[in-house]
Amino acid sequence: MGRILHSLGLVEIIVLREMSLNKGKSYLAEFWPYSTAEAKEHYAISRKDATKSKRPSQSDATFDEFAGVFKNQLLEFYTSKQRKLNLNVHDLYKYVFQDYSRVFKLLDNGTILLLAHCELKNLSPKDTPYILGIFECLLNETTKQKHFDDTHSKDQIPSQDDYLLVMKPIGILLINHLKYNKLSTDKLESVATFTCKVIQHCLSTTALLDAWFDVALKEPDVVYLLFKNRLPANCFPPYEIAKDFLFMGDLLFQISKEALLSIVLASGFNKNLENWILMSEFPGLVITGLLSNFNQICYNEILLSNYKNDFDEILLENENFKEFNEYIKFIMDILSYSTHDSVKIVFLNCFQSRFINPVLEYYSLNDTYHVNIIFLLSHTINQLISIPEFSRSCPITQFIVEELIEKCIDTSTPNKTSLIDIFKDALLQPTENTILTISSFNLLSSFCKARQVSLVLKLFGFEPFIVDIGACVIKSDSNTNDLCNLVKLIEHGEPSYKTVLVDKLEEGYTWIYKVGKNGDPQNPTSSRTWLKFDFSKELPLLILSHFVRFFTNPYTVNRSLLNLLKCITSFNHGKIFDFVLNDTSGPTETFFYEIFTFLWESLEDYSSKYYCGRVVAPIVTPTSHILYLFRSYDKVIADNLEEWYKQGAKNPIKLETLALNMELFKGFVIDLYSIHKTRNLEHRVFQKLETSKSHEIS
How confident is residue 401, by pLDDT bands cut at 50, 70 and 90? low
Q: What is the DSSP string of 359-400?
A: HHHHHHH--TTHHHHHHHHHHHHHHHTTPPPSSTT-HHHHHH
Closest Cα to residue 447, out of 394, 398, 390, 393?
398
* Residue 440, SS3 per DSSP: helix
- The predicted pLDDT at position 58 comes to 45
Chain centroid offset of residue 525 CA: 32
- The predicted pLDDT at position 388 comes to 58
Task: Measure the CA dihedral 662/668/670/671, to 10°.
Answer: 160
The C-alpha atoms of residue 246 and residue 254 are separated, in whole angstroms, by 8
More confident residue, 201 or 472: 201
The C-alpha atoms of residue 510 and residue 38 are separated, in whole angstroms, by 51
The C-alpha atoms of residue 351 and residue 285 are separated, in whole angstroms, by 10
The C-alpha atoms of residue 544 and residue 551 are separated, in whole angstroms, by 13
Give 522's Cβ-side CA count (13 Å radius): 4
Mean pLDDT for the stretch of residues 689-697:
37
Sequence-separated contacts (24+) of 414-418 with Cβ below 8 Å: 417/360, 417/361, 417/363, 417/364, 418/360
For 521, phi and psi rounded to 5 degrees?
-60, -25
How confident is residue 308, by pLDDT bands cut at 50, 70 and 90? low
Mean pLDDT for the stretch of residues 293-298:
88
* Residue 14, SS3 per DSSP: helix
Cβ proximity of 676 and 581 under 8 Å: yes
Q: pLDDT tens digit string along 179-201?
A: 888 788 888 899 999 999 999 99
Cβ-based burial of 4 (10 A; exposed 0-12, middle 13-18, buried ≥19): exposed
How confident is residue 483, by pLDDT bands cut at 50, 70 and 90? confident
| pTM of this structure | 0.78
The C-alpha atoms of residue 435 and residue 614 are separated, in whole angstroms, by 30
* Residue 535, SS3 per DSSP: coil
How confident is residue 684, by pLDDT bands cut at 50, 70 and 90? low
Q: Give the strand pairing for 463-466 and 529-532.
A: antiparallel
- The predicted pLDDT at position 390 comes to 38
Sequence-separated contacts (24+) of 250-256 with Cβ below 8 Å: 251/189, 252/188, 252/189, 252/192, 255/27, 255/189, 255/192, 255/193, 255/195, 255/196, 256/192, 256/195, 256/196
How confident is residue 493, by pLDDT bands cut at 50, 70 and 90? confident
The C-alpha atoms of residue 658 and residue 553 are separated, in whole angstroms, by 9
| Beta carbons within 10 angstroms of residue 128's beta carbon | 22
The C-alpha atoms of residue 409 and residue 407 are separated, in whole angstroms, by 6
Chain centroid offset of residue 598 CA: 40
End-to-end alpha-carbon separation of the chain, Å? 48
Cβ proximity of 255 and 188 under 8 Å: no
How confident is residue 570, by pLDDT bands cut at 50, 70 and 90? confident
The C-alpha atoms of residue 51 and residue 388 are separated, in whole angstroms, by 50
| Beta carbons within 10 angstroms of residue 417's beta carbon | 18
The C-alpha atoms of residue 489 and residue 600 are separated, in whole angstroms, by 11
Closest Cα to residue 456, out of 412, 420, 487, 500?
420
How confident is residue 694, by pLDDT bands cut at 50, 70 and 90? very low
How confident is residue 398, by pLDDT bands cut at 50, 70 and 90? low
Q: pLDDT tens digit string along 326-346?
A: 889 999 899 888 888 889 889
Q: 254 — alpha (psi -120 to 50), left (phi > 0) or beta? A: alpha
**Which of these ranges, 35-39, 72-76, 442-446, has the smallest mean pLDDT?**
35-39
* Cβ partners under 8 Å of residue 196, min gap 6: 24, 27, 28, 242, 255, 256, 258, 259, 262
Chain centroid offset of residue 549 CA: 34
The C-alpha atoms of residue 279 and residue 347 are separated, in whole angstroms, by 12
Cβ-based burial of 141 (10 A; exposed 0-12, middle 13-18, buried ≥19): buried
More confident residue, 185 or 527: 185
Mean pLDDT for the stretch of residues 308-315:
59
Q: pLDDT tens digit string along 646-680?
A: 777 677 787 788 889 999 999 999 888 888 888 77
For the ranges 67-76, 425-434, 476-485, the one whose mean pLDDT is highest: 67-76
Mean pLDDT for the stretch of residues 379-396:
63
Mean pLDDT of all residues in the chain?
76
- Checking if the pLDDT of 274 tops 90, the result is yes
Closest Cα to residue 547, out of 563, 532, 534, 536?
563
- The predicted pLDDT at position 687 comes to 47
The C-alpha atoms of residue 36 and residue 220 are separated, in whole angstroms, by 35
Closest Cα to residue 527, out of 437, 567, 467, 603?
467
More confident residue, 606 or 14: 606
| Beta carbons within 10 angstroms of residue 79's beta carbon | 8
How confident is residue 686, by pLDDT bands cut at 50, 70 and 90? low
- The predicted pLDDT at position 657 comes to 82
The C-alpha atoms of residue 59 and residue 376 are separated, in whole angstroms, by 64
Give 499's Cβ-side CA count (13 Å radius): 1
- Checking if the pLDDT of 26 tops 90, the result is no
Closest Cα to residue 282, out of 337, 323, 319, 229?
337
Q: pLDDT tens digit string along 41-59?
A: 444 444 555 444 444 444 6
**For every residue of 135-193, which 3-state class applies, written as one string?**
HHHHHHHHHHHHCCCCCCCHHHCCCHHHHHHHHHHHHHHHHHCCCCCCCCHHHHHHHHH
Percent of the chain with pLDDT over 90: 19
- 672 sits in which H/E element: helix 655-682
- Checking if the pLDDT of 472 tops 80, the result is no
How confident is residue 5, by pLDDT bands cut at 50, 70 and 90? very low
- 617 sits in which H/E element: strand 616-617
Ranges of H-type helices in 214-281: 220-228, 237-245, 250-266, 271-279
The C-alpha atoms of residue 276 and residue 238 are separated, in whole angstroms, by 13
- The predicted pLDDT at position 136 comes to 92
- Checking if the pLDDT of 154 tops 90, the result is no
* Residue 3, SS3 per DSSP: coil
* Cβ partners under 8 Å of residue 176, min gap 6: 116, 117, 118, 119, 120, 225
Beta-sheet strand order (sheet of 576-577): 463-466, 529-532, 576-577
Mean pLDDT for the stretch of residues 13-18:
45
Cα torsion angle, 192, 260, 382, 671, sign: positive
More confident residue, 62 or 433: 62
Closest Cα to residue 222, out of 167, 180, 147, 275?
167
